[in-house]
Structure 1
């Protein structure tokens, strides 16, 4: 009877053990799910109440128009006044899923559904940035992604504040466009 040397008989067993170990290691790895959105670091005034869940996360990239106008209740004084936003809404992968424009402030999904909202609260978000914002959604127009939205949070802000340039009676009516970025988090009843 012909016998194989010991190392020849162990080679298939060693390979099988290595393959089993590798498969077990791969099975232990879970696909990296995107982390769940958390309100923990936000000011309490702009947190969405319990009973709601995140329905959609978007990144708004665009611009805000300001106009040099008379200050309300201050004759002879002028200030930069917010005229309106214009932005694209992208999903977390960078694909455009909607637009944001105004007045009135309107969030519109690529499917045609859209809504306006009523501001509930704002909170400082850092120098040079628009404030955090919480709005209560009005009923959506059309059927689609905006149907059933209860609240929208504006977070993760970059830029968007009124221009630093002079607003004086001499340049009343002048408009300036300022770039900004913000995450818009859409919530629906849980």
Structure 2
């Protein structure tokens, strides 16, 4: 037996289908795969790994503190203290966070990891450098389980503040904004 819709039900069904199609089309095309060819050699991920998770952060923060230079008594400099950012997927949904020290990536599913920096490369004036890190084993099971490497790419901002750092403001902290993509890789 075939069910028939009343005119009102048919109209509501058509409106719902149209809304669903509009929502899907507004998401835009899926992001293009990240090309390792366009990145500096020191931060390329070794062969034998595949891109497993892409995240982005806009509105991230890097905190610096005005401190004495380690090798130059009486001189001061802005020293990196730590990051704080929400990790979002390409649709803008929050999927985790990044914070430190130590540098820690944590997914909303509870998986979490730290990593060891392997290499950096310049990414343009006023921007943090590109970065490649080797992931330590993740805690918890989820998106970060099995991650081998993390790349920081698509950078804007984040460098030490332009404000003076001197003996008068030793100990002062300053926060600067940045954005970046964090790409998580797993072994094949």
TM-score range, shorter chain: 0.7 to 0.9
Deviation, 1:73, is: 1.2
Work out which of the residue numbers 32, 37, 40 in structure 2 matches 1:35.
32
What's the counterpart of residue 83 of structure 1? 81
For residues 70-104 of structure 1, the C-alpha deviation after alignment (integer angstroms, 9 at most, x for no partner) is: 00010000000000000000001100000000000
CA deviation map 1:157-177 (0-9, x unaligned) = 000000000000110000000
Change (3 A) 1:113 1:41: same
> For residues 29-178 of structure 1, what are the structure 2 equivalents within 5 Å?
33-61=30-58, 62-178=60-176
Kept in 2, the 8 Å contact 1:88–1:100? The answer is: yes
Secondary structure of residue in 1 paired with 2:128: coil
**Structure 1 residue 34 displacement after superposition:** 3.4
TM (normalized to structure 2)? 0.83
Indicate the structure with greater strand content.
Answer: 2
Larger radius of gyration: 1
Any unmatched runs of 5+ in structure 1? 1-30
Length, aligned pairs only: 160
- Equivalences for 1:1-16 in 2 at 5 Å? none
Q: Unmatched 5+ residue regions in structure 2?
A: 1-27
